[in-house]
Structure 1
Amino acid sequence: MSTKIPINIAGNLVADPELTYGESGVAHAKLRVAVNQRIQGSDGSWQDGEPVFHNVSAFRALAENASNSLKKGDPVMVSGELEFRAFEKDGEKREARRIVAETIGPDLRWGTASYHRSPRAAAGPEAGIAGLQAAPEEAHPAYSITTKGPVSVPPLGGPVRNEISL
């Protein structure tokens, strides 16, 4: 049985993201995030509460980007679905929970970040980091809300058109 609940967390990475590739070539990053609650005492002073550790899984481009961008100790924000699973191991019933991430980003309350757009070319396990190359000078496909399909967007510096109509 599997239950999924929407969730947003802000915390710190406990370790560097672990990037692996499945048999089908899909990238999977495992992250461990510690979330500390701040508690105000009766005297007005603030203290850290007990940390709660969350296992986070990211897939495909999000997994590769998180692995290339984040490291142990970084403050992050994760949005996704909390997934509970029940399973049996050695004849004993057990439960596991993880967050399947939809988005991951740095928490900018504690510092600054520089954003670099990744090329849309897929980088498989054999390409590794070498698959992340500079974007070509030609137009990149994007998504149109009106046609619900790809559209051609000019590269940076080209004329801009808004394809969104409500």
Structure 2
Amino acid sequence: MGTKIPISIAGNLVADPELSVGESGVAHAKLRVAVNQRIQGADGSWHDGEPVFHNVSAFRALAENSASSLRKGDPVTVAGELEFRSYEKDGERREARRIVADTIGPDLRFGTTVYQRMSHAPVAAPDVDVRAHLDTPVAAEAATPGYNVASKSPVVVPPFGPAAGTEMSY
């Protein structure tokens, strides 16, 4: 068993997530995230430092949702565990590291997003295109903001459409 260290990173996707489904039926997404450090020069100007590339693995629903939501160049935040592994290849001992993600999300410092809650559907089979639902229009309820700026409180939307009158209908 390798060493695992809690980690959180913010960077940009280098490529589209690669989704695969293992023999056990568990979805696995591989992501590659570049993290650049901003460095201030002696003259006060800012520039990007050397990028550090991280391999990220996501499993199950997180893998499917990442593959259907994220694209190359998207700014993302990832939290999970840094995992170190050693292996032998061609008679040489090698080491690898990856982040096993607990959460992945868009970095909202650079844009906005509309959150769409997924149903508790079973994991897609290997021949199912998990990105197919992206072409369908988003419902008007999903496009409404989840936060009311005027009252600084959450906007409450009934889960199954607007309630009729004052009665609760679910």
Task: Output the TM-score relative to the length of structure 2.
Answer: 0.76
Q: Distance in 2 between matches of 1:57 and 1:114?
A: 24
1:50 maps to: 50
**Structure richer in strand, relative to its length:** 1
Decide whether aligned partners of structure 1 residues 130 and 7 sit closer, same or farther in structure 2, where only a CA change above 3 A counts: closer
Runs of 4+ in structure 1 over 2 Å off: 126-132, 154-159
Map 1:119-134 → 2, pairs under 5 A = 119-125=119-125, 126-129=127-130
Q: Deviations for 1:31-80, whole angstroms, at most 9, x for unmatched residues?
A: 00000000000110000000000000000000000000000000000000
Q: State the 1:103 CA deviation.
A: 0.1
Match in the other structure for 2:3: 3
2:32 maps to what in 1? 32
Within 1, Cα distance between the matches of 2:103 and 2:5?
15
Within 5 A, what are the aligned runs for 1:79-90?
79-90=79-90
Equivalent position amino acid for 2:9 in 1: I
2:62 alignment partner AA: L
Cα distance change on mapping 1:131 and 1:16 into 2, 3 Å: closer
Structure 1, residues 100-159: CA drift from partner, whole Å, max 9, x if none?
Answer: 000000000011111000111113315443897xxxxxxxxxxxxxxxxxxxxx944675
How far, CA to CA, are the matches of 1:120 and 1:91 in structure 2? 45
Distance 1:73 1:131, change over 3 A: closer
Give 1:89 shift: 1.0
CA–CA separation in structure 2 for the residues paired with 1:131 and 1:118: 14
1:115 aligns with 2:119: no
Equivalent position SS for 1:20 = strand
- Corresponding residue for residue 78 of structure 2: 78
Tell me which residue corresponds to 2:94: 94
Aligned-residue CA RMSD (Å): 2.3
CA distance in 2, matches of 1:86, 1:113: 38
Residue pair 2:26, 2:123 contacting (<8 A) in 1 also: no
Q: Report the counterpart of residue 12 of structure 1 in structure 2.
A: 12
Q: In structure 2, what is the equivalent of residue 62 of structure 1?
A: 62
Q: Which SS does the other structure have where 1:113 is aligned?
A: coil
Rounded to whole Å, the distance in 1 between the matches of 2:130 and 2:53 is 29
Amino acid corresponding to residue 28 of structure 1 in structure 2? H
Deviation (angstroms), 1:10: 0.1
Give the Cα–Cα distance (whole angstroms) in 2 for the partners of residues 71 and 47 of structure 1: 25
Q: Secondary structure at the match of 1:25?
A: coil
Secondary structure of 1:53 counterpart: strand
* Identity across the alignment (%): 73
**2:65 is paired with a residue of what secondary structure?**
helix
